[in-house]
Amino acid sequence: MIEMLLIFLAPIIGGFVYGFERIVRARMQNRQGPPLLQPFYDMLKLIDKQAFIVNPYHSILGIMHFFTLWVVVAFIILGQNLLYVIFLHLLSTIFLILAGFSVKSIYSHIGSNRELLAMIAYEPILIMLAVAFFMINGSFDISAIRENPSSIFPLILLFLAFLMVIPIKLKKSPFDATEAHQEIVGGVEVEFSGVFFEFLYMAKWLEYFFVYSLLVLFAGNNLIFAIVLALFTFLVVNLVDNATARIKMNHLIKIVVTIGLTLGMLNLIGLAYV
């Protein structure tokens, strides 16, 4: 019953996290910032706006992106296979990329290209993370990983690599080149409007639920450590976002592939010989 309630409320929980993040970022910049409920006010405003359908495939793929992400979150809450979760999350990203390619806007195409390149860079890290959890816990099931002690110390290099994935998924500096409002006017989402853009807006909230749910797996069955780890990462990601400028797409790929994948591979090699 609790799991079903969490699944139903997952987008709302993600919305509160996003609203709280905007307040924290404003305080870091010495601003008042929006109220906690501002994401929900924005959602209500989007409902009132007229929706312009470029083509039916574009709109359907955007909706499929949202609902596939919701299934991903449901699998995490229910403690399902971590590999299934990662592959379903990959599928949700592919839906978004295809939506961008389904219209003629050059900004949308550039955004889809960047999403595709970023996905190729960070997806191996997520797969290595699942393999590492299997090597330590003997199972891909998230429920089994949660029942075991914290694995952050034997997986410290993969933890550092995963910290590089978080700002990519949440569109944070310095790794927010896939969205880049000043360059490509939002990228993939540029042709969405009204209620269809709302699905993409809520999908961002589910991304928060996804990345922080994976993050707390490093804490295992230690609830207090999981909370501390999530808060620490939340503050670090937003501090870096406020203190750094966007890097170019080729630099993003180079950093993630050379540093992130190297850290992940070294961690897996170390686990194999321990």
**56-109: pLDDT as tens digits:** 888 888 899 999 999 999 999 999 999 999 999 999 999 999 988 888 888 888
The rounded distance, in Å, linking the Cα atoms of 38 and 61 is 26
Q: What's the pLDDT score for residue 185?
A: 65
Phi, psi of 113, deg, nearest 5:
-60, -45
The rounded distance, in Å, linking the Cα atoms of 261 and 192 is 34
Q: What's the pLDDT score for residue 201?
A: 85
Question: Quick one: how many helices (H) and strands (E) in the chain?
Answer: 12, 0
What percentage of the chain carries pLDDT values higher than 70? 97
Given CA atoms 178, 181, 184, 188 in this order, what sign does their dihedral have?
positive
**100-150: pLDDT as tens digits:** 888 888 888 888 888 898 999 999 999 999 999 999 998 999 999 999 888
The rounded distance, in Å, linking the Cα atoms of 154 and 82 is 19
HSE-up of 104 (CA within 13 Å, CB side)? 3
HSE-up of 87 (CA within 13 Å, CB side)? 6
Q: What is the mean pLDDT of residues 218-242?
A: 92
The rounded distance, in Å, linking the Cα atoms of 75 and 84 is 8
Write out the DSSP string of 225-254: HHHHHHHHHHHHHHHHHHH-PPPPHHHHHH
Global pTM exceeds 0.85: yes
**7-19: pLDDT as tens digits:** 888 889 988 999 8
Q: What's the pLDDT score for residue 184?
A: 57
27-41, 58-72, 160-174: which range is least confident on average? 27-41
Kindly list the distances between the CA atom of residue 135 and the CA atoms of 81, 205, 261, 267, 269, in Å, as whole numbers in the listed order: 14, 31, 18, 11, 11
Angle at which helices 194-215 and 2-28 cross, to 10°: 100
Q: What SS3 state is found at 141?
A: strand
Q: What's the pLDDT score for residue 42?
A: 84
Binning the chain into helix, strand and coil, the percentages to the nearest 5 are 75, 0, 20
